[in-house]
Each structure stands twice: as C-alpha cells, then as structure tokens.
Amino acid sequence: MIYLGVDGGGTKTRFLALDDRGRVVLDLTLGSSYLPAVGKEGVKALLREAVARLPEPPARAVLGLGGYGEVASWDEDYRKAVGEILPSYHLLNDVELAFLGAFGGEEGILVLGGTGSMAYGRGPLGLGRAGGFGPLFGDEGSAYWIGIRALNLASRAEDGRDPPTRLQEIPRLLGKRDLLEVLAWLEEDPALQRSRVASLAQIVDALAPQDQAARGLLEQAAQELFHLGATLVRRLGTNRMAYTGGVFQSSFVRGAFFRLALKEGIDLRSPLREAAEQAALMARLGGEAGCV
C-alpha cells in the first residue's frame, strides 16, 4: 500500500509517499495549494496531478494545508476538494503539521517563515499561535512581506523620495522594463499574485551583499519572525524554539534570527523532520493520524 504526506504552502506543495516498508516512492514538489489563491478546483487539480504519479492510489493521506482550521468556509471547500480525490485522509493546518515534525510531539515553539508567517507551539501553559493573519494585515517577516516592502523601497527610490538602492534593479532582474511593468505582471493573474510577490524575497537576498536597504529589510524580517516566536515563549512557558520555511534560507535572516535568540537565551534548534516527512509517517501509522 501507498501512504501519502502533503505539505501545502502558498508557493509550493510537497508530496511525499511511502510504501509499507517506509521506502519513498514519490517525492514531488508542485505549485501552491493555498485555497484562497487557487480555489477548490486548483486544489483538486494539484492533487490529481500528484496522485497520477503514484504507482497506485494511496491507502491513506495526511495533508497539512495553509489556512485549514481557521475559516469554516475554507475548511468545507478543502474537505470537498480533498474528498473527491482521496478516499481516506486527515487534514490539519500546515503550521501545526510542521510543529509536529519539528518537535516530535514534545513541547516547543515553531516559527514558520515561508510565503506567509506564523508561530505555533505548546508549552506548560497550553497551546497557542501568533501571527498567521494573511497578506492583507499580517504575515510579518514572510517572503510576501519582504517582496511588498522591497517594491515599496524601490518605488520610493525611483521617485527620489529615498536614496538610491539596488532594489531598483528588481524590474531588470525580472525581465521587465520598469516597476509599472512589474505591477502589471503581478496583477495579471490573481491566483499567482501572492507567490510572485513572495518570489521577490530571493532577489532581495541576492542583492543584500551589496545593498544596505536590502540587508536592512532582511534583518527586519528576522526581527518580525523572532517576535512571533518570542511572544509564544512568554505566553506558553517554554524556551525551546525551532524555525522552518524558505525565508530562513537567507543567511542574513538566519544570522539576525540566531543573534536575537542568543541574546534572549532561547534554546534554538532545527526541526527533527520536515513537514512532508511527518505527514507521510502519520499516514503510514494510520490510526495515529486520525484518517477519515
């Protein structure tokens, strides 16, 4: 039998499938599975594509999906979409899944810095979360947050409102003529807008060694991400913190984040296992996954 684990995010979704002996039979990364961006049909299309790559339909699946468990209408649409493709499944929030992988069921705080941002954890004082309010008024320190602020800094510098910065090179690096062409590119497909903005964080990181504005922006992102985690450290009474997500691939973000953790005496560690691996393991264990 095949057991499928899914780690769904705003930019990419990883599918990891195991057989009865725990051997990997599929490790596939596709696009966004974030329902508010791609819709129910987009979620179904993504699942169909992944299942079609398997040697046989999965006996069970565990899926960590962005925003699941937060808005009732989203939950209903997620369940309808998944239920049409997978016969036996268990859904949970992507950050909750990442937390389970990070600490193996023990207490701690996980800080997620991906397309969006959020902290989630458990300690002696209970369960809790911080952030995760989406791109309109949250996601501080995330790749989307970095991308939006980079474009703002570039536009201000273009106008002469702020000093010049290498962030003004963003249009050229995207193959666009100017920031107005970048704006048109971002607005042409609403389903891709969030992931396209988030992709700019990689450009900011590439420009950072030669540009103070870019470095400052990444350091601000690290501060915002650390603040999410530190808030839960105080609320939940645990000093253990882990981190995950694409934003932490930046050495500037990691360095600033590590310095803040060291200053505050936080017990900082890498996750025990990645979210997709945790999901696949839960699916293989069956009963412990709570599959329907």
> Residue 106, class by beta-carbon neighbours within 10 Å (0-12 exposed, 13-18 middle, 19+ buried)?
exposed
Question: Is the domain of 133 the same as that of 251?
Answer: yes
**Is residue 94 located within the same domain as residue 232?**
no
Taking only the tens place, the pLDDT of each residue in 95-109 is: 899 999 999 889 999
- Domains in the chain: how many in total? 2
- Do 228 and 285 lie in one domain? The reply is no
Give the integer Cα–Cα distance in Å for 266 and 25: 38
* Domain coverage including residue 21: 3-99+274-289
pLDDT digits (tens, 9 = 90+) for 248-277: 999 999 999 999 999 999 999 889 999 999
Tell whether 93 and 219 lie within a shared domain. Answer: no
Instruction: Tell me if 200 sits within 8 A of 147, measured CB to CB.
Output: yes
- The model carries a pTM of 0.84
- Tokens linked to 134: 């989406």
DSSP tally for the chain: helices H, then strands E: 10, 10
SS3 23: coil
Answer yes or no: do 135 and 241 share one domain: yes
Q: Classify 261 as helix, strand or coil.
A: helix
Cα gap 55→89, rounded to integer Å: 18
| CA–CA separation, 152 and 49 (whole Å) | 37
CATH number at residue 265: 3.30.420.40
β-bridge mates for residue 18, sequence order? 3, 24
CA 183 to each of CA 174, 178, 195, 251: distance values in angstroms, whole numbers, following the listed order: 12, 9, 14, 28
Report whether 23 contacts 50 (CB < 8 A).
no
SS3 8: strand
Query: Are 94 and 13 part of one and the same domain?
Result: yes
pLDDT tops 50 at residue 289 = no
pLDDT at 285 over 70: yes
How would residue 292 be classed by pLDDT, with cut points 50, 70 and 90? very low
Q: Are residues 76 and 195 in the same domain?
A: no
The owner of tokens 């913190």 is 241
Residue with tokens 């949250």: 138
Amino acid at 7: D
Q: How is residue 260 written in tokens?
A: 């803040």
Q: Do 75 and 10 share a structural domain?
A: yes
Under a CB-based contact definition with an 8 Å cutoff, are residues 262 and 91 in contact? Answer: no
What angle do the packed helices 35-52 and 190-207 form, to 10 degrees?
90
Report the pLDDT value the prediction gives residue 287, as an integer from 0 to 100: 46
> What CA–CA distance (Å, rounded) separates 97 from 63?
8
Do residue 90 and residue 171 come from a single domain?
no
Judge if 177 and 113 occupy the same domain. yes
Does residue 113 share a domain with residue 52? Answer: no
- Examine the domain organization and report whether 143 and 267 are in the same domain: yes
